[in-house]
Amino acid sequence: MNKKTTAHKSNCPINLSLEIIGDKWTLIIIRDIMMVGKRSFRELLKSDERIATNILSNRLSMLEEKGIITKKNDISHKQKKIYSLTKMGADLFPILMEIGVWALDHLPVDKKSTVHLQMLLDGGEKKQKEFLEELKKNHAID
């Protein structure tokens, strides 16, 4: 669909956000880039959730088009692309955190996969600020 002619279902903030991040995969990819430090297609393909190649490719293009990530060539490998979060992408951090908190409270989470989340929660605002500072250094965040 042409971007310019795409009609929004409504201009409500919740709806506009869900039109971008409201699916089962987009925030998994953001989680992997932001929390796990994956930066290439090959790395992103190797998540526990086993994302399909075409879905990953589709979501990365969409995220780039929306301005949530950028793609650049890897200096050491001509054919390899490196994905970075923009400010808009990094600002998804509080959403991911709250989704994590909700799961910790209400869903049968695997403790092994919550070590990082728990550390950020236990560390409070200070730890989370440090984490975001670190993110800034490695990504395309102005």
Q: Which is nearer to a second copy, 50 or 78 (CB)?
A: 50
Which 45-104 residues touch a second copy, going by CB under 8 A? 47-50, 67, 88, 91-92, 94-104
Q: Are 8 and 19 in contact (CB under 8 A)?
A: yes
Q: What are the backbone dihedrals phi and psi of residue 83, each rounded to the nearest 5 degrees, phi first?
A: -100, 135
> Is the CB of residue 20 less than 8 Å from the CB of residue 9?
no
Per CB under 8 A, does 106 bind a second copy? yes
Name residue 133's amino acid. E
16, 7 Cβ separation under 8 angstroms: no
Residue 110 DSSP SS3: coil
Nearer to a second copy, 53 or 76 (CB): 53
State how far the Cα of 71 lies from the Cα of 98, in Å rounded to an integer: 27
Q: How many residues bind a second copy (CB under 8 A)?
A: 48
Binding mask 8-37 for a second copy (x = CB under 8 A): -xxxxxxxxxxxxxxxxx-xx--x------
**Residue number with CB closer to a second copy (9 or 126):** 9
Q: Which two three-digit tokens encode residue 10?
A: 């409504």
- Given the complex with a second copy, which of 95 and 138 has the nearer CB atom? 95
Binding-site ranges for a second copy (CB under 8 A): 9-25, 27-28, 31, 47-50, 67, 88, 91-92, 94-110, 113-114, 117
